[in-house]
Amino acid sequence: MKKNLAEFIGTFWLVLGGCGAAVLAGGHIGAGGVAIAFGLTVVTIAYSLGHISGAHLNPAVTLGLWAGGRFDQKEIGSYIISQVLGAIAAAGVLYIIVTGSDGKIGDFAANGYDEHSPGHFKMISAIVTEFVMTFMFLIVILGATDEKAPKGFAGLAIGFALILIHLISIPVTNTSVNPARSISQAIFVGDWALAQLWLFVVIPIAGAICAGYVYKYLSSK
């Protein structure tokens, strides 16, 4: 229960901090600022709650760690449920804040492709981007948390990786690499966001699982 609560709180902070920066301050801080915000949420939770739950904050990360032999299959379901609920709770708080102004939420930092991509990138671009970005994210996570890696720097490496991922992919999909983050925003936007949600659930998970198996092979004796 403590691990699940830590994942709930951590994912809540990820979505509130990252998507909150995009929705409330995106016009002032730009894509670079939003990228930094997402990275900061991961760094702060990694060092505050990582010792409790591992600070996955992302169903794709949980499944990637499982594929890499780093996570018990019996805990997958409870972790993912906690992450999704934490993300939805954060989106709910953000919704209340945003509608306290003009009542309109716009795209609410939801993920999309075609006309809903910030740069109007097509679906194939979104698929490739989300797969590769999540694959590399998991490679960094698995490598930085390896018992042979330098101690104490995993949170920074993972946070910096997420910043870089956002700098690359915000123009393409608004950056998911995290099904919980995508689900939470799509629920409040509805319509096109829900119709396109499948991509931001299936593709990040596929990329993460592939990375888990690849890193497991790379690190095997």
| 71-100 pLDDT tens trace | 999 999 999 999 999 999 999 999 999 998
Q: What is the pTM of this model?
A: 0.95
pLDDT at 54: 94
3-state helix, strand, coil in the chain (%, to 5): 75, 0, 25
d(CA 189, CA 192): 8
| Cβ-based burial of 173 (10 A; exposed 0-12, middle 13-18, buried ≥19) | buried
pLDDT at 195: 98
pLDDT at 22: 95
Give the residues of the chain that fall short of pLDDT 50: none
Percent of the chain with pLDDT over 90: 92
| Cβ-based burial of 135 (10 A; exposed 0-12, middle 13-18, buried ≥19) | buried
pLDDT at 93: 97
Cβ atoms 45, 117 nearer than 8 A: no
Q: Closest by alpha carbon to 63, among 137, 159, 156?
A: 137
d(CA 59, CA 100): 31
Q: Out of 2.60.40.10, 1.20.1080.10, 3.20.20.70, 3.30.70.20, which CATH number does the structure's domain 2-218 have? A: 1.20.1080.10
pLDDT at 119: 96
The domain limits of the chain are 2-218
pLDDT at 221: 78
